[in-house]
A and B are shown apart, each in its own frame.
Chain A
Amino acid sequence: DAGITQSPRHKVTETGTPVTLRCHQTENHRYMYWYRQDPGHGLRLIHYSYGVKDTDKGEVSDGYSVSRSKTEDFLLTLESATSSQTSVYFCAISESNSGITDTQYFGPGTRLTVL
């Protein structure tokens, strides 16, 4: 998984509770991404980061926030989880956003269930 770990790997929580997912990389890559994957929708970008403390929104960012205080860690927070956020969440990293280094490498995923 290209030196990427995600924690927790599985989580069940209740509606309205806050949830934080962690992505950790050992590759020292500049770019980090959070996606969610749902049947019928494929992979959708939630937020991404292009450096420490530099983040931006993706296509499905409502209800999610992120933080990156260190190069190696990218946190995804659901402030108040809803059942529509039940999904599999993937973190990805890339060296850059241009040329051959556009390629992204994915973590193993976190399966989140919101009851």
Chain B
Amino acid sequence: QKEVEQDPGPLSVPEGAIVSLNCTYSNSAFQYFMWYRQYSRKGPELLMYTYSSGNKEDGRFTAQVDKSSKYISLFIRDSQPSDSATYLCAMSQGGSEKLVFGKGTKLTVNP
């Protein structure tokens, strides 16, 4: 079992839809959870950061962490064509451990 699993998609939704992106993981020591957005031919950019369990909201974006289920989610409300990108989850134990990335989910929001 891979440490971090992420459905690669592709996921295609109409403009205005609510999008749910998810990752599962196997290492219960992960404490720090991130979502990165990567536009085509660009570097990943940090979108959301969460420590331990719970929710975090930033505008149209909500990140959820359920450590008991080893499951993290990113919700995008009122999706826009500009949200079309690949979304990468990443997580870390902290300390000297490195980030572990999911392979990314490609999202297309159609006008």
Q: Decide if B88 touches A103 in the complex (CB within 8 Å).
A: no
> Which residue numbers of B lie inside 8 Å of A, CB to CB?
32, 34, 36, 41-46, 49, 51, 88, 90, 92, 94-99, 101-104
B101 / chain A contacts, CB cutoff of 8 Å? 42-43
Assign chain A's interface to a size class. 20 to 34
Distance in angstroms from B87 CB to nearest chain A CB is 12
B32 / chain A contacts, CB cutoff of 8 Å? 99, 102
Distance in angstroms from B35 CB to nearest chain A CB is 11
> Which residue numbers of A lie inside 8 Å of B, CB to CB?
1, 4, 33, 40-43, 45, 48, 58, 90, 97-100, 102-109
A104 / chain B contacts, CB cutoff of 8 Å? 46, 90, 99
- Given pairs A43-B101, A97-B97, 11 additional interface contacts (CB within 8 A): A1-B43, A40-B103, A42-B102, A100-B49, A100-B51, A102-B92, A103-B46, A104-B90, A105-B45, A105-B46, A106-B45
